[in-house]
Chain A
Amino acid sequence: MIKQDDSIKKILRGKSFKFGDDISTDLIAPGRYFHLRSNLNELAKHVLEDADEEFAGKVNNGDFIVAGRNFGLGSSREHAPAIIKLAGVGAVLAKSFARIFFRNSINIGLPVLVCDTDKIDKDDELEIDLSKGIIKDLKKNIELKFKALPDVMIKLLNDGGLVEHITKNKGFNL
Chain B
Amino acid sequence: MDKTISEKIISEHAGRDVFAGDIAVVDVDVVMAQDGTGPLAVSQLKKMSFDKVKNPSKSIFFIDHAAPSPRKELSNSHIVLRQYAENCGMVLSDVGEGVCHQILVEDFAAPGEIVIGADSHTCTSGALGAFATGMGSTDIAVGFALAKTWLMVPQTIKVNFNNNPLKGVYAKDLIIYLIGKITAEGATYKALEFGGSFIKNMTIDDRFTISNMAVEAGAKAGIFASDEITEKFLESQGRGKQYKEISADKNANYEQIIDINCSEIEPMISMPHTVDNVCPISQMEKVKVDQVLIGTCTNGRLSDLKIASDILKGKKVNKNTRLIVVPASKKVYLEALKEGIIETLVESGAAIQSPGCGPCVGVHQGILGDGEVCLSTQNRNFKGRMGNPDSFIYLSSPATAAYSAIKGYIADVREIL
Which A residues are within 8 Å of any B CB, using their own CB? 22, 24, 26-27, 30-32, 34-39, 50, 69-70, 73-79, 82, 96, 98-100, 103-104, 107-108, 150-152, 161-163, 166-167, 171-172, 174
Binary interface profile of B, 37-76, with partner A (CB < 8 Å = 1, else 0)?
1011000100111000000000000000110000101101
Q: Is the CB of A162 within 8 A of B387?
A: no
Q: Is the CB of A38 within 8 A of B73?
A: yes
Q: Which chain A residue shows the least CB distance to B362?
A: A31
Given A26-B383, A107-B139, A172-B146, answer yes or no on A99-B220 (Cβ-Cβ < 8 Å): yes
Residue of A26, A103, A151, A172 near B384 (CB, 8 A) is A26
B380 within 8 A of A: yes
Q: Is the CB of B380 within 8 A of A77?
A: no
Whole-angstrom distance between the alpha carbons of A55 and B319 in the complex? Answer: 41
Given A76-B135, A96-B185, answer yes or no on A35-B74 (Cβ-Cβ < 8 Å): yes
Q: Which chain A residue shows the least CB distance to B379?
A: A74
Q: Is the CB of B383 within 8 A of A24?
A: yes
Residue of A31, A37, A166 near B385 (CB, 8 A) is A31
- Write out the residue numbers on chain B whose beta carbons fall within 8 Å of the beta carbon of A69: 185
Given A31-B384, A74-B382, A163-B44, answer yes or no on A100-B185 (Cβ-Cβ < 8 Å): no
- Write out the residue numbers on chain A whose beta carbons fall within 8 Å of the beta carbon of B386: 31
Q: Is the CB of A27 within 8 A of B134?
A: no
Q: Is the CB of B39 within 8 A of A37?
A: yes
B11 within 8 A of A: no
Interface contacts beyond A152-B150, A166-B142: sample of 5 additional A-B pairs, CB < 8 Å, sorted by A: A32-B362, A35-B73, A98-B185, A104-B138, A163-B141
- Write out the residue numbers on chain A whose beta carbons fall within 8 Å of the beta carbon of B367: 32
Whole-angstrom distance between the alpha carbons of A100 and B120 in the complex? Answer: 8
Q: Is the CB of A35 within 8 A of B71?
A: yes
Whole-angstrom distance between the alpha carbons of A99 and B221 in the complex? Answer: 11
User: What are 14 inter-chain pairs, A to B, with CB distance below 8 A?
Assistant: A26-B382, A31-B385, A34-B66, A35-B74, A73-B185, A74-B120, A76-B137, A77-B37, A96-B185, A96-B188, A107-B138, A150-B23, A166-B145, A167-B49
Which B residues are within 8 Å of any A CB, using their own CB? 23, 25, 36-37, 39-40, 44, 47-49, 65-66, 71, 73-74, 76-77, 80, 117-120, 122, 134-139, 141-142, 145-146, 148, 150, 152, 184-185, 188-189, 218, 220, 274, 361-363, 367, 380, 382-389
Whole-angstrom distance between the alpha carbons of A108 and B389 in the complex? Answer: 28
Q: Is the CB of B274 within 8 A of A22?
A: yes
Whole-angstrom distance between the alpha carbons of A172 and B24 in the complex? Answer: 11
Q: Is the CB of A100 within 8 A of B135?
A: yes
- Write out the residue numbers on chain A whose beta carbons fall within 8 Å of the beta carbon of B36: 34, 37, 75, 77
Q: Is the CB of B48 within 8 A of A73?
A: no
Most buried by B among A70, A73, A98, A172: A73
- Write out the residue numbers on chain B whose beta carbons fall within 8 Å of the beta carbon of A74: 120, 380, 382
Given A73-B184, A76-B120, answer yes or no on A34-B138 (Cβ-Cβ < 8 Å): no
- Nearest CB of chain B from residue A160's CB, rounded to whole Å: 12
- Nearest CB of chain A from residue B394's CB, rounded to whole Å: 16
Most buried by A among B73, B142, B189, B385: B385
Q: Which chain B residue shows the least CB distance to A95?
A: B185
Q: Is the CB of B23 within 8 A of A98?
A: no
Residue of B141, B188, B361 near A34 (CB, 8 A) is B361
- Write out the residue numbers on chain B whose beta carbons fall within 8 Å of the beta carbon of A73: 184-185, 218
Whole-angstrom distance between the alpha carbons of A78 and B142 in the complex? Answer: 14
Q: Is the CB of B388 within 8 A of A150?
A: no
Whole-angstrom distance between the alpha carbons of A78 and B42 in the complex? Answer: 13
- Write out the residue numbers on chain B whose beta carbons fall within 8 Å of the beta carbon of A31: 361-363, 384-387
- Nearest CB of chain A from residue B44's CB, rounded to whole Å: 6
- 3 closest cross-chain pairs (CB), A and B: A31-B362, A78-B136, A104-B136
Residue of B23, B37, B139 near A152 (CB, 8 A) is B23
Whole-angstrom distance between the alpha carbons of A108 and B104 in the complex? Answer: 27
Given A76-B119, A96-B185, answer yes or no on A30-B48 (Cβ-Cβ < 8 Å): no
Q: Which chain A residue shows the least CB distance to B390?
A: A50
Q: Is the CB of A50 within 8 A of B77?
A: no
Q: Is the CB of B119 within 8 A of A166?
A: no
- Nearest CB of chain B from residue A36's CB, rounded to whole Å: 7
Q: Which chain A residue shows the least CB distance to B77?
A: A38
Q: Is the CB of B40 within 8 A of A37?
A: yes
Q: Is the CB of B120 within 8 A of A30?
A: no
